[in-house]
Structure 1
Amino acid sequence: MLTSLPNLLTLSRIIVIPIIIGLFFVREHWAAWTACALFALAAITDYFDGYLARSWSQVSIVGKFLDPIADKLLVAAVLFMLVAVDKLSGISVLPAVVILLREVLVSGLREFLAGIRVGMPVSKLAKWKTAIQMVALGILIVGDDGPSGVPVQAIGELGLWAAGLLTLITGWDYMQAGWKHMNEEREPEPEAVPRPAQPHGANTARSAG
């Protein structure tokens, strides 16, 4: 049900994206901190929507569809905007590219596995990757608008590199797991062979004989 609390929390992550994007264009300290706060709240809902859905037995097909999409839209939007406003530049763009490419890879892999009815659970390392990634992005949103004397930008970039490294590792693990299913030789399902039609009166003839 779309109006259940877990699904509403998931939808809130999508609704907040345009607001965060708009705040990137406001070159004020309060705008950076507000965008960071909204991003942090959105990241927190990623935990609570799944937890509540399981606890309240409200796991739905809509929720399973929207949850990964909301996460990817939020992360992709923030990464693009960090580059657009020069809060992320130079070689530090590389982990951002790795993260985006991995998201495309995993999405395609999940779609393939879903087609053959095979699930792909999230590993513990992938959860750590997501946590580090979200913290790093939140720090980078603040960037140079952070406290004076604190290397906020450097801390955020270091966290993003750590997330990028874990992204490579988890992406490779997922690809290996998916490759096993790709190489499996599945026997084709036997087709129903229609029985030949019997001539009219054949059953009567057998009964009589």
Structure 2
Amino acid sequence: MTWTIPNILSVLRLLAAPLVAVMFLYFTRPYADWFALGLFVLASVTDWFDGYLARAWGQETRMGAMIDPIADKAMVVIALMVIVGYSSMSPWLVLPATVILFREVFVSGLREFLGDVAGTLKVTKLAKWKTATQMVAIACLFGQGVFEHYLGMSSLGMDPQIVAQMVAGKIEDTQGLGWKLTGMIWSGWAGLILLWIAAALTGITGVDYFRKAYPHLKD
């Protein structure tokens, strides 16, 4: 095990993955959303940073090559689990999340089965775009949770008609309900659309990996 800075960043990202879920056990919302969002964004940044440093400093190691994809998958899987759990099992989130989770498990199983020839399943540029899209989508969906709960806190106990008039701009919006609602809607739609795009890319890359592994599976 070579403890270079890129490898240390990868290990820290792996350890941070379960903390995304732990935030919702020990903190109330929207603070849990804030902590999870910050942790997820920080982990996503280090994902690019450790790879860049490893290449720039010539510190690419087998340890890093092993831990880096595991940390990415753990972060995405745990974050999706939390988001789907707090979305009341919305089918619009469950379906793309299911595709993503199935593909990650399927490809991991292929790599394990192939063993020494698993190098045939090298990470492609499309797979990297898939991971980037997943991470941006998840960050947007965590952001939606932040806006949603600040909106709920600001309108707590208010008459629904007054809330509607404030949002519509008919009366002075002293609580900032309008921009909070706008933020919730836009971040939610952005996250949902990007998650479906990520699911499509996930399916395409999964089929590509299976096609490359198929000759070995026949043997």
Shorter-chain TM band:
0.7 to 0.9
Post-superposition shift, 1:87?
6.6
Show the counterpart of 2:7. 7
The TM-score, its normalising length taken from structure 2, stands at: 0.75
Structure having greater relative contact order (Cα 8 Å, sep ≥ 6):
2
Show the counterpart of 1:149. 182
Alignment of 1:31-110 (within 5 A): 31-86=32-87, 89-110=90-111
Post-superposition shift, 1:40?
1.0
What is the aligned-residue RMSD (CA, Å)? Answer: 2.0
CA contact (8 A) 1:82 1:88 kept: no
Show the counterpart of 1:16. 16
> In 2, Cα distance between the equivalents of 1:104 and 1:140?
23
Post-superposition shift, 1:18?
3.4
> In 2, Cα distance between the equivalents of 1:112 and 1:120?
12
Matched, 1:167 2:168: no
Q: Secondary structure at the match of 1:121?
A: coil
Post-superposition shift, 1:122?
1.5
In structure 2, what residue type is equivalent to 1:44?
A: V
Aligned pair in 2 of structure 1 residues 87, 183: CA closer, same or farther (>3 Å)?
same
The TM-score, its normalising length taken from structure 1, stands at: 0.79
CA contact (8 A) 1:133 1:160 kept: yes
Post-superposition shift, 1:128?
1.4
Post-superposition shift, 1:164?
0.6
Aligned pair in 2 of structure 1 residues 88, 163: CA closer, same or farther (>3 Å)?
farther
> In 1, Cα distance between the equivalents of 2:103 and 2:65?
20
Show the counterpart of 2:211. 176
Q: Secondary structure at the match of 1:86?
A: coil
% identical equivalent positions: 43
CA contact (8 A) 2:17 2:71 kept: no
Q: What's the CA shift string for 1:11-58, capped at 9, x where partnerless?
A: 111222233212234343343223212101101211222222222222
Unpaired runs of 5+ residues, structure 1, are 185-209
CA contact (8 A) 1:129 1:163 kept: yes
Q: Secondary structure at the match of 1:148?
A: helix
CA contact (8 A) 1:126 1:167 kept: yes
Larger mean CA deviation between 46-55 and 27-36 belongs to 27-36
Matched, 1:29 2:64: no
In structure 1, what residue type is equivalent to 2:46?
A: T
Q: What's the CA shift string for 1:127-167, capped at 9, x where partnerless?
A: 11111111000111122423431312222111111111111
Question: How many residue pairs align between the two structures?
Answer: 184
